[in-house]
């Protein structure tokens, strides 16, 4: 058990429920312990429901142990890297817990990674085994890695095993190659005894790649202590506020398991608490509403999911009475979307903050605080946050002053893999600099105004795109919006808004938008440009993404400059 000295004196202590302290001891344990305990306590209870298949806790433990013995049969030793290139499928928890039980380090790959990014992650991590599935064309992408050869073994889960899968298992077409095994044949390599491995809590468990605006992704090195401390912090919080009942919740999971939010905040926490995870592959707002009406009690999502639900005709008339927890994370939640959902349904849309580097435990919003619109809430137990000067991160700022969020706690990574320069820039006096700009109020509630890398300097003023986005979301015809900085001959930089309008909405001009924003944003924050689009770019996990827009604008600027030179 670990705790952080001094947390009980933080101002957010007053917002905690009776009996729970921010300095509560945080249990840390080897991640596979989650299955060991839950299989004993909830053995016959359904852990995962996927395409009509019920997988009990006892089934899950047996499948993971068989995978661990099979990894050992392939020669996997403690510290070896095993990469997972998997969509939402039961093969993920089988392989995830199996690899950890064999003493390996899991490396998460995204099914939406472009080939150069996949190659980078494989080479950077040192993984020589990749687990994938014959669904969605993933096999062809991995075979190229085996032929280069970047990997030694490819293990292919047969999607047809699950009802509703592909009629002809594509795995049969590729398993004749020496480097490729079907999941069934992989299990045939299992040794007789489960590998015995003495875990140190600070042993590496997961290389979780996190994107950046430039360069290739970098991996946060997450230990067994990091991941389990995050799970313990979530458990203390949700049980302290009576938002989660051990062994009783039915949690609807569309979030990808390869993302830290879906992995830790949902899957690991749910399995640790004996919940049933309704594992789903693709989000659809109408289907999600059907699932809630059928008895789902919790829906963790990202803002784009809640935007889609709020844009669904008649959503407020659906029976959402079973929904005990509606949560959003992964990106800032537009205030107007949360308000619209609450006004239409009477349910509170709860939010929080975290990142891959924090496993992703960070903050959460206490129930029933309508007086704090736009807040990311207060730190979870064991997590310490402060606001520091951007110019000098050793200086802590006062409540109300805007600076960079810095975090520390047992859940926070201690370093990036193979990135010494990033490590020197990101860690100061034991605190991790998050890159998020915001402030803390007198009550200890935190607010984020933007990412440091997204800040616009316009005419000498700091302009935060997220604040402009929040104001634009108040427009009744706007469904989604992103704001970035673009070159401006007079101000150096200016804001440009990219907007997706609601279905059937009339055209929106820049002048109309600026008239609407008058009084909502300052003159220096007014968008100088507006572009209406049928859709906005998204990351692999469904969050709205500014990266592509910035790249487009940079390319456009280069083209204009070259034309000017030619003239």
The helix (run of H) or strand (run of E) holding residue 531 is strand 529-532
Strand ranges (E), 158-217:
180-182, 204-210
Number of helices followed by number of strands (H, E) in the chain: 16, 26
Are 383 and 407 in contact, with CB atoms under 8 Å apart?
A: yes
pTM of the complete model beyond 0.75: yes
**CA atoms of 494 and 503, how far apart (whole Å):** 28
The answer to whether 19 and 447 have CB atoms below 8 angstroms apart is: no
CA–CA distance, 106 with 195 (Å, rounded to integer): 16
Query: 453, 213 in Cβ contact below 8 A?
Result: yes
H or E element at residue 420: helix 420-426
Residue 25, both tokens: 């001891």
Query: Per the structure block, which two tokens stand in for 143?
Result: 């075979």
In the prediction, which pLDDT does 567 show? 52
Low-confidence stretches of the chain (pLDDT beneath 50): 2-3, 166-170, 172, 175-176, 212-214
As beta bridge partners, residue 230 has: none
Question: Residue 3: what pLDDT?
Answer: 47
- C-beta separation of 536 from 482 below 8 A: yes
CA distances in angstroms from 250 to 263, 283, 458, listed in the order given:
16, 17, 48
Round to whole Å and give the CA distance between 287 and 294: 10
Q: CA 320, 322, 323: angle at the middle one, nearest 5?
A: 70
Question: Left, alpha or beta for 269 (phi > 0: left; psi -120 to 50: alpha)?
Answer: alpha
pLDDT of amino acid 564: 58
Instruction: Give the Å distances, CA to CA, from 480 to 86, 154, 293, 310, 437.
Output: 29, 40, 26, 12, 22
Burial 204-215 (b: 16+ CB within 10 A, else e): bbbbbbbbeeee
Rounded distance, CA 11 to CA 332, Å?
Answer: 23
Contact by Cβ (8 Å): 89, 162: yes
**Cβ 295 vs Cβ 321: under 8 Å:** no
Which residues lie closer than 8 Å to 274 by C-beta, 6 or more apart? Answer: 38, 41, 42, 45, 57, 246, 247, 248
Cβ within 8 Å of residue 11, ≥6 positions away: 399, 440, 442, 443, 444
497: which strand partners?
Answer: 483, 530
Q: How far is CA 207 from CA 162, 226, 346, 350, in A?
A: 28, 12, 40, 28
Q: Exposed (0-12), middle (13-18) or buried (19+): which is 245, by Cβ within 10 Å?
A: middle
Q: For the chain, what is the largest distance between any 2 Cα atoms, rounded to a whole number of angstroms?
A: 76
List the beta strands (DSSP E) in 372-430: 378-379, 384-388, 403-408, 427-428
Question: At 366, phi and psi to the nearest 5?
Answer: -60, 150
Measured distance CA(360)–CA(158) in Å, rounded: 31
Residue 451's CB is within 10 A of a number of other CB atoms, namely 17
Cα gap 555→543, rounded to integer Å? 23
- What is the predicted pLDDT for the residue at 4? 59
What CA–CA distance (Å, rounded) separates 513 from 519? Answer: 12
Contact of 48 with 95, CB cutoff 8 Å: no
Which domains are seen in the chain, by residue range? 7-27+215-451 (3.40.50.12780), 57-198 (3.40.50.980), 455-566 (3.30.300.30)
């Amino acid at each position: 058990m670990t705790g952080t000295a001094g947390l009980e004196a933080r101002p957010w202590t007053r917002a905690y429920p009776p009996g729970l302290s921010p300095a509560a001891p945080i249990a840390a344990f080897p991640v596979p312990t989650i299955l060991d305990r839950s299989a004993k306590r909830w053995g016959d209870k359904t852990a995962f429901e996927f395409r009509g298949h019920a997988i009990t806790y006892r089934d899950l433990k047996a499948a993971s142990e068989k995978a661990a013995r099979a990894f050992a049969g392939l020669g996997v030793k403690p510290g070896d890297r095993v990469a997972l290139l998997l969509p939402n499928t039961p093969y993920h928890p089988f392989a995830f817990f199996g690899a950890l039980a064999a003493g390996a380090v899991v490396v998460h790959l995204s099914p939406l990674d472009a080939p150069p990014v996949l190659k980078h992650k494989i080479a950077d991590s040192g993984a020589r085994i990749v687990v994938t599935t014959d669904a969605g064309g993933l096999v062809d992408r991995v075979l190229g890695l085996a032929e280069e050869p970047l990997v030694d073994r490819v293990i292919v889960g047969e999607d047809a095993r699950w009802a509703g899968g592909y009629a002809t298992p594509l795995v049969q077409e590729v398993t004749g190659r020496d480097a490729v095994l079907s999941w069934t044949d992989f299990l045939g390599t299992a040794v007789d005894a489960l590998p015995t491995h003495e875990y140190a809590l600070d042993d590496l468990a997961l290389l979780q790649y996190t994107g950046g605006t430039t360069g290739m992704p970098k991996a946060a090195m997450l230990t067994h202590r990091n991941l389990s401390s995050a799970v313990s912090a979530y458990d203390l919080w949700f049980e302290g506020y009576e938002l989660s009942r051990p062994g009783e919740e039915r949690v609807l999971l569309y979030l990808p398991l390869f993302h830290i939010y879906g992995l830790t905040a949902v899957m690991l926490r749910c399995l640790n608490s004996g919940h049933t995870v309704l594992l789903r592959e693709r989000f659809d707002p109408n289907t999600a509403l059907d699932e809630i009406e059928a008895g789902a009690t919790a829906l963790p999502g990202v803002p784009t999911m809640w935007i889609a639900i709020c844009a669904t005709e008649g959503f407020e008339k659906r029976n959402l009475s079973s929904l005990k927890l509606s949560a959003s994370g992964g990106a800032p939640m537009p205030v107007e979307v949360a308000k619209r959902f609450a006004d239409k349904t009477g349910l509170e849309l709860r939010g929080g903050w975290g990142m891959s580097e924090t496993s992703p435990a960070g903050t959460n919003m206490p129930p029933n605080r309508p007086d704090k619109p736009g807040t990311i809430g207060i730190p979870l137990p064991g997590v310490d946050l402060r606001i520091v000067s951007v110019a000098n991160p050793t200086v802590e700022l006062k409540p109300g002053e805007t600076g960079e969020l810095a975090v520390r706690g047992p859940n926070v990574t201690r370093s990036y893999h193979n990135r010494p320069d990033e490590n020197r820039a990101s860690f100061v006096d034991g605190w991790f600099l998050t890159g998020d700009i915001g402030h803390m109020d007198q009550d200890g509630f935190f607010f984020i105004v933007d990412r440091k890398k997204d800040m616009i300097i316009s005419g000498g003023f700091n302009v935060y795109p997220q604040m402009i986005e929040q104001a634009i979301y108040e427009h009744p015809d706007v469904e989604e919006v992103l704001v970035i900085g673009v070159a401006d001959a007079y101000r150096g930089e200016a804001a440009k808004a990219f907007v997706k309008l609601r279905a059937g909405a009339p055209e929106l001009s820049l002048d109309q938008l600026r008239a609407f924003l008058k009084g909502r944003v300052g003159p220096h924050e007014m968008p100088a440009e507006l572009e209406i689009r049928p859709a906005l770019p998204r990351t692999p996990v469904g969050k709205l993404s500014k990266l592509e827009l910035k790249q487009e604008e940079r390319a456009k600027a280069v083209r204009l400059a070259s034309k000017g030179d030619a003239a």
